Amino acid sequence: MKKYDIEHLRTIAVVGNPGSGKTSFMESVLYVTGTKTKKGRVEDKSTTSDYLSEEKNHLTSISTSLIPVEHDGYKFNFLDTPGNRELVSEVYQALSVVKGAVVMIDGSKGIDIGSELVLDDVSERNIPTIIFVNKMDKDNIKFDGLLERLQKLLGNKAVPFLWPVIENNDFKGYINLIDMRAIVLENGKLVEKPIPENLVDKVRELREQIVEAVAMASEELLDKYFSGEELTYDEICDGLRQGVLSGDLKPVVIGSVLKDIGVRDLLEMIGKFMPAPNDLKPKVGKDPKTDEAVSRKTTIDEPFSAYVFKTIIDPFIGSINFIKVFSGSLVSGQKVVVTNTNKTVKIGTISTMRGKEQISVESLDAGDVGVVIKIDEMYTGCTIADLKNPIVLDGPEIPSATIYVAIHPKKKKDEDKISTALHRLVIEDPSFEYKRNRETAQLLIGGQGMTHINYMLEKLKNSFGVEVDLKNQQIVYRESIKKKVEAEGRHKKQSGGSGQFGVVKMRFEPINPNESEFEFTEEIHGGSVPRGYFPAVEKGLIDTFQKGPLAGFPVIGVKATLYDGSYHAVDSNEISFKLAAALAFKNACKTCVPTILEPIMKLEIIIKDSYVGDVMGDINKRRGQVLGMNPMFGGKQKIIAEAPEAEIISYTIDLMAMTQGTGVFQREFVRYEEVPEYLKEKIISSLNEDE
């Protein structure tokens, strides 16, 4: 691949709803630029971008693909991202390394809530954006209404740059309002035509709006404009570029990627109006030694730094790390440091990837994107940098898992290899996680939803040959006591051999389980129990608290006081007092009113205004409580609530259903609380069923 100077590099994320046409857009770009002579189709499983077996299986993108294309003196690094919101971590990683985004909209579906969220994602990050209204070839596309909706959402920032030519309800082509050219499909070919008569006035009006927007952006041009002088083409283009870079302008273009309509003009506009890597703000990070904020200008003159925005563990090649070079340059054989772990590595093969095809490159320079192969120390989210000038570059926030399921390998022989395989999946996708729960011994995997989890399980099978059974996650309850009581534990074994004897009198009282799990103290007077046995008494309680009296859950929130007892000079020993302590608690349970505690989770739920009522009502039905609400970007609300973990096991799925797949939430454990009386029996009996 040829070398390009930084001004002619464009790194663009392609984002949008599932099925809006992002991957098909890549096919059209590859085709119209001559990179591919034959276009692939998603349905035929023949696209460059959707090369994973899981993607072909589901006819959807599951992982971000890099599609570099050379065209018109530019090198475009497109990142084709998955549309499914459960895979949003892929999108956030991609958005963290680009300077421009194309938002794909399915014109036949209009601007639904999913598209609003995508527009929010790019606006919140101030990423210059071009909106592509796709599938204009479909019937009944109401472009006026769609544009109106966009302008309602984005204000006058949404300005049409291409206007549709529709004849007899048939999408024929478009008018480029910048160049004032009409391009229509004729006998399967796109040809330039005079602007249709019936559109001349409309086009003039639209063009005027564009020129006015440009003039408004600078005093000099405003004077020229109001003095009635024509702005030159270059002045208009410069003004538009400034508008796109500042985010004041979000060009709306239209087309059909299936018919390659509008794609060439979009490429031209990305070159003309979208930022080069060295435009806008430099990349910020931290000095790993001092933690001070440092930044890197995107130029080869600065010390090398690059961010790993994606890792794939390929069964044949090994680890493939996708990097965005933010400063300096990288060549094969160069020694760099993984600044997050302070590990020095020697770079082997560097190249770029187009889908799964590896393309060799001489070096990867500031502003460019490529891959580094076979360096296992690197992973999604890490930074590699110059040994003498280390920096940890900022990455996006990774959503933590919102749903967990328990898995168990179908075949015994897979029990050893499942952790390695899961570890690799986590390296690829940090929004996926796995953990072994010590108490329930369940191997839990966590993700952003069941679709996400199922894709991961498919990868586990396809890439590592491990099949698993799924089970519901078991809630890790706790037990505690409600009443302060005193009880004796008398352990005596004096028949043959060495005897055992220990008597303890204990007071057990409830304490706040969220402040302290267990407290042990003694008020022994007169040496009724020798000091040396105190640790044994404490240990005896700690052991016996592992399995509570009601359902075998760990006991917490108890203060135990050893206040009296007795011992035998010969037969007493540590084990005697351990057992005596356990007996004392057993006896105490007859009167101390044991109870069950459940984990309470804090939820931060982000939804559009229109769903607030339903979601709040639903929280109340889950024995939950809404604590507050804060307005968010783009007409969204963040609801802060608390609810028992047992009531939100599948909340991700339910929230998606309540909010048309757009609600997101984060959850974290806050405290234990007593389970309502009517549920205790149910919990105990469900445990008996599980056994």
Ligand X SMILES: Nc1nc2c(ncn2[C@@H]2O[C@H](COP(=O)(O)OP(=O)(O)OP(=O)(O)O)[C@@H](O)[C@H]2O)c(=O)[nH]1
Where along the sequence are the contacts to ligand X (CB under 6 A)?
16, 18-24, 41-43, 60-61, 82-83, 104, 134-135, 137-138, 256-258
When the beta carbons of 10 and 135 are compared against ligand X, the nearer one is: 135
When the beta carbons of 35 and 209 are compared against ligand X, the nearer one is: 35
**Smallest distance, Mg ion to C-beta of residue 26, A:** 8
The listed partner (Mg ion, ligand X, none) that binds 478, CB under 5 to 8 Å by sort, is: none
Q: Distance between CA 367 and CA 282 in Å, rounded?
A: 11
Residue type, 449: G
**Smallest distance, ligand X to C-beta of residue 12, A:** 15
When the beta carbons of 108 and 351 are compared against ligand X, the nearer one is: 108
When the beta carbons of 56 and 207 are compared against Mg ion, the nearer one is: 56
Q: Which of 61, 65, 298, 659 binds Mg ion (CB under 5 A)?
A: 61
Q: Is 81 in the site for Mg ion (CB under 5 A)?
A: no
When the beta carbons of 75 and 135 are compared against ligand X, the nearer one is: 135
Contact 525, 605 (CB under 8 A): no
Position of minimal CB gap to ligand X: 83
Residue type, 390: P
Q: Is 24 in the site for Mg ion (CB under 5 A)?
A: no
Distances (CA, A) of 347 to 93, 208, 328, 362, 368: 22, 53, 15, 13, 17
User: Which pairs count as long-range contacts for 265-269, CB under 8 Å and 24+ apart, including other chains?
Assistant: 265/161, 265/162, 265/174, 265/176, 265/183, 266/102, 266/130, 266/132, 267/29, 267/32, 267/33, 267/71, 267/72, 267/74, 267/76, 268/72, 269/130, 269/161, 269/178
Q: Distance between CA 149 and CA 152 in Å, rounded?
A: 5
Q: Is 23 in the site for Mg ion (CB under 5 A)?
A: yes
**Smallest distance, Mg ion to C-beta of residue 61, A:** 3
Site for Mg ion in 214-273 (CB under 5 A): none
The listed partner (Mg ion, ligand X, none) that binds 258, CB under 5 to 8 Å by sort, is: ligand X
β pairing state of 369-373 and 350-354 = antiparallel
Residue type, 152: K
Stretch that binds Mg ion, among 56-64, 187-195, 375-383, 451-459 (CB under 5 A): 56-64
Q: Distance between CA 63 and CA 533 in Å, rounded?
A: 60
Radius of gyration of the chain, Cα coordinates, nearest whole angstrom: 32
Site string for Mg ion, 637-656 (x = CB under 5 A): --------------------
Q: Distance between CA 524 and CA 569 in Å, rounded?
A: 17
The listed partner (ligand X, Mg ion, none) that binds 18, CB under 5 to 8 Å by sort, is: ligand X
**Smallest distance, ligand X to C-beta of residue 28, A:** 8
Site for Mg ion in 662-691 (CB under 5 A): none
When the beta carbons of 395 and 449 are compared against Mg ion, the nearer one is: 449
- Phi, psi dihedral angles at 491 (to 5 degrees): -115, 125
Sequence-distant (6+) residues with CB within 8 A of 49 are 23, 26, 27, 61, 65, 67, 80, 355
When the beta carbons of 17 and 659 are compared against ligand X, the nearer one is: 17
When the beta carbons of 83 and 285 are compared against ligand X, the nearer one is: 83
The listed partner (Mg ion, ligand X, none) that binds 453, CB under 5 to 8 Å by sort, is: none
**Smallest distance, ligand X to C-beta of residue 85, A:** 10
Question: In a 10 Å sphere around its CB, with 0-12 CB exposed, 13-18 middle and 19+ buried, how is residue 380 labelled?
Answer: buried
The listed partner (Mg ion, ligand X, none) that binds 138, CB under 5 to 8 Å by sort, is: ligand X
Interface ranges with Mg ion (CB under 5 A): 22-23, 61
